[in-house]
Amino acid sequence: MALKSSEAITLRTYPFREADRIAVFFSRGYGKIRGIARGARLLKSHFGSTLEPMSYLRVIFFERENQELAVINSCDLLESHAAHRNTLEGSYYCAYVAELLSEFTQEGEVNEKLFRLTLAVLDPNLRLEWEMRARYLETWLLRLEGVFPPLQQCGRCGRALRAGAVYIDGGGQEALCRDCGGSGRLSLDADQHQLVREIFSRKIGAVPWGQWSRQALKNLGKLNSKLIQYHLEKPLKTGRFLKELNQC
């Protein structure tokens, strides 16, 4: 059986049999990977902290014929991202990002842009709060999936879209002007419109985040969460935790 190797990000694990875990990764070379990490539940496991959510690593694995699960041979840590999990807020957001990635990636489907986006959002050298990292990831993820439409011109009449008068349908895809859009659609206020345009035109570290109030960030989060729910046809499980956290 040929060993395969890829950079990957750990999404989650769950116990399997007495000593093993099933690990789910988002890999650069193979899309989502689900595999058995043998002995990972033992105290002295050679997997160490590589199976913590959001660890960036090199995974070596092999696939078995007619078996759903791969076998994880070894994992070498490239960046632990442990600092992200140090606080309650950070661990909630890590779980949220893991669920987002898990829902939007498929086994065997490479998604290089999403992989690079994820690494950029997790960059430990960025001095950015989680709320901003999450908005950047969600908005771009929805864009890459074709859900969040470009906001330059109306999808029906072609006129340039003016801030404060933009509507998008529940499934995304089309941004409409005031004349073509209107009731029953999601609307973007001027803040959301401007913020989304900044997100689409800059790297995460270059977006002038300080120009937006916390409320504006939350409003974009609400819009994104509606689009995510519409696209997946269900709400995210971790969305509830974040809502509670934001009410504290």
Residue 116 or 162 with smaller CB distance to Zn ion: 162
The residue among 131, 137, 134 whose CA lies nearest residue 114 is: 137
Provide the minimum distance between the beta carbon of 185 and Zn ion in the complex, in angstroms, as a whole number: 12
CA distance 32 to 175: 31
- Residue that is written with structure tokens 């807020």 in the block: 89
Query: With respect to Zn ion, which residue has the nearer C-beta, 39 or 164?
Result: 164
Beta-strand relationship, 70-79 and 186-188: unpaired
Of 178 and 197, CB closest to Zn ion: 178
Give per-residue burial for 51-87: e unless 16+ CB within 10 Å, then b.
bbbbbbbbbebebeeeeeebbbbebebeebbeebbee
Q: How far is the CB of 238 from Zn ion (least distance, A)?
A: 36
Q: How far is the CB of 172 from Zn ion (least distance, A)?
A: 16
* Residue in 69, 77, 78, 180 binding Zn ion, rule: CB under 5 A: 180
Of residues 153-172, which lie at the interface with Zn ion (CB under 5 A)?
154, 156-157
- Please tell me the distance from the alpha carbon of residue 216 to that of residue 221, in angstroms, as a whole number: 9
CA-to-CA dists, residue 90 to 119, 134, 143, 159, angstroms: 16, 11, 24, 42
Size of the site for Zn ion (CB under 5 A): 5
Q: Which of 100, 175, 177, 217 binds Zn ion (CB under 5 A)?
A: 177
The token duo for 90 is 């950070």
Beta carbon of residue 12, minimum distance to Zn ion (angstroms, whole number): 43
* Closer residue to Zn ion (CB): 64 or 156: 156
Of residues 76 and 179, the one with the C-beta less far from Zn ion:
179
Binding residues vs Zn ion (CB under 5 A):
154, 156-157, 177, 180
